[in-house]
Amino acid sequence: MLSYVVRRLWQMLPTMLGVVLLVFVLFNWVGGDPAYLLAGKMADAASIENIRRQLGVDQPWYVQLGIFLRQIATFDFGQSWATGEPVAAILATRLGPSLTVLVPLTVLETVLGVALALAVAFVRGSLTDRAVMVVCTIGMSVSILVYIIVFQYWLAYKAGWFPVQGWGNGLLENLRFAALPILIGLAVSLAPTLRLYRSFVLDEAGQDYVRTARAKGLPERRVMWLHVLRNAAIPIITHVMASLPAMLIGAFLLERFFGIPGIGREVILAVERSDFPVIKAITVYVAAATMVFNLLTDLLYQAVDPRVQLH
């Protein structure tokens, strides 16, 4: 396994280099001159040239690329163009709030999705199964903005069960602020997750080995939990691990509406401010996290099913 991990890490290097070159090209040529964005419409040529010199964008492209590679290697992307705060400090302080929401949300979504998918699979083809699928379809058709507005108004403002928005300093206080965003995220994501996991479970339930297990007289509960779930766990792991990096950025609506100072909210602010150092750092780190999660996915495959061979 160690040789496989080392080989995969080496294979990540050219992929990461391709991502770095793509990001460099997009931000340095396609994105336009950041000096014009920062200087404003009324700036003169001298001011713009001074800003370009301070940002280092007046250097030749190969010098700028070398600076970018050094920033990635040292995890130091300089300072934010909008606030002057070190980019590393921005990411370090924003990661905690995002994880406070996303970790419980991912765990609850996965556990409830698997449990409900198995429960629906027990009564597959019945009226209950069809009713659950109809409810899931309706839930998927409702925008997340509707969930946010309704839950904020009724559960936070009217009932007073949750804070409307805000963020604290301690973990317990932050979990209190994160409870409603987690609930909303669960309400939005559970319907598509249940439909997907149900298809995984039913696909395995129709295999020959399951019919053989039933023919041997094994109870349906044992067949579902021991045989079906074990094999359905492979695509479930793939779905969970593949969605983690996207969830880190995709939670920006929850963070924006609830005042959570997370990574997703920071991305929106950076885009609005044309804060390229922050955007580039987050883009590179998300790409690296995606590759690492892909490696962890392969390792989890073998942990769940030893028959899986890593090559």
pLDDT band at 43 (very low <50, low <70, confident <90, very high): low
Domains, the chain: 2-74 (no CATH), 87-304 (1.10.3720.10)
Both tokens of residue 301? 């495959």
Residue range 83-88: mean pLDDT, rounded: 86
pLDDT value for 27: 76
pLDDT value for 61: 80
Which residues, 6 or more positions from 275, have their beta carbon under 8 angstroms from its beta carbon?
80, 81, 82, 83, 269
Q: Among the listed ranges 28-37, 60-69, 231-240, 271-280, which one has the minimum average pLDDT value?
A: 28-37
pLDDT higher at 88 or 274: 88
Sign of CA dihedral 87, 88, 91, 92: negative
pLDDT in tens, 103-126: 999 999 999 999 999 888 888 888
Tokens 């395995």 correspond to: 204
Gap between the Cα atoms of 280 and 2, Å rounded: 32
Tokens 């301690």 correspond to: 170
pLDDT band at 184 (very low <50, low <70, confident <90, very high): very high
pLDDT value for 40: 63
Q: Mean pLDDT of all residues in the chain?
A: 83
Question: pLDDT > 90: what percent of the chain?
Answer: 11
Model confidence at 301: pLDDT above 90: no
Residue range 210-228: mean pLDDT, rounded: 80
pLDDT value for 248: 73
pLDDT in tens, 264-294: 888 888 888 778 888 889 888 888 888 888 8
pLDDT higher at 279 or 252: 279
pLDDT higher at 238 or 29: 238
CB 77 within 8 A of CB 58: no
Burial 233-259 (b: 16+ CB within 10 A, else e): bbbbbbebbebbbebbbebbbbbbbbe
CB 194 within 8 A of CB 117: yes
Q: How far is CA 247 from CA 62, 85, 106, 135, 251, in A?
A: 34, 25, 9, 24, 6
pLDDT value for 186: 92
Question: pLDDT > 70: what percent of the chain?
Answer: 91
pLDDT value for 181: 92
Model confidence at 38: pLDDT above 80: no
pLDDT value for 46: 73
**3-class DSSP string for 126-184:** CHHHHHHHHHHHHHHHCCHHHHHHHHHHHHHHHCCCCCCCCCCCCHHHHHHHHHHHHHH
Model confidence at 83: pLDDT above 90: no
